[in-house]
Amino acid sequence: MNKSLNVRIKDIVLRTPLITSSGTSGSRDEINLLVNRKSILESLGAFVTKGVTINESLGNKEPRIVEVRSGILNSIGLQNKGVKRFFEEDIPELRKFEIPIIVNISAGSVNEFGTLSAMIKDLDKNNTVSALEINVSCPNIKKGGAAFGADPRLVEQIVKEVKSSVQNTLCIITKLSPNVSDITQIAIAAIQGGTDALSMINTLRGMAIDTDRKKPILGNQVGGLSGPCIKPVGVYMVYECFKKIPECRNKKIPIIGIGGISNYFDVLEYILAGATATGIGTQWFINTAIFEEILKDMTDYLNNTNETIENLVGKAHNSF
Ligand X SMILES: Cc1cc2nc3c(=O)[nH]c(=O)nc-3n(C[C@H](O)[C@H](O)[C@H](O)COP(=O)(O)O)c2cc1C
Q: Which residues are catalytic?
A: 138
- Candidate list 34, 43, 50, 141; residue touching ligand X; CB under 6 A: 50
- Candidate list 281, 290, 294, 295; residue touching ligand X; CB under 6 A: 281
Instruction: Establish if 226 lies at the interface with ligand X (CB under 6 A).
Output: yes
Q: How many residues sit in the footprint of ligand X (CB under 6 A)?
A: 26
Indicate the pairing of strand 215-216 with strand 223-226: unpaired
Spacing of C-alpha 280 from chain mean position: 8
Encode burial over 71-85: b for 16+ CB neighbours within 10 A, e otherwise: bbbbbbbbbbbebee
Pick the closest to residue 172 from 156, 185, 183, 184 (CA basis): 156
Instruction: Establish if 144 lies at the interface with ligand X (CB under 6 A).
Output: no
Site string for ligand X, 77-106 (x = CB under 6 A): -x-------------------------x--
Tell me: cis bond preceding 54? Omega within 30 of 0 counts.
no
Instruction: Establish if 193 lies at the interface with ligand X (CB under 6 A).
Output: no
Quote the least distance from Cβ 187 to ligand X, whole Å: 15
Q: Which residues contact 143 (CB under 8 A, 6 or more apart)?
A: 108, 109
Pick between residue 29 and residue 212 the one whose CB is nearest to ligand X: 29
Instruction: Establish if 22 lies at the interface with ligand X (CB under 6 A).
Output: yes
Quote the least distance from Cβ 215 to ligand X, whole Å: 22
SS3 38: helix
SS3 232: helix
- Candidate list 117, 157, 175, 277; residue touching ligand X; CB under 6 A: 175
Pick the closest to residue 281 from 291, 296, 270, 293 (CA basis): 291
Q: Contact positions toward ligand X, by CB under 6 A?
A: 21-24, 50-51, 74, 76, 78, 104, 135, 138, 175, 202-203, 226-227, 230, 258-261, 280-283
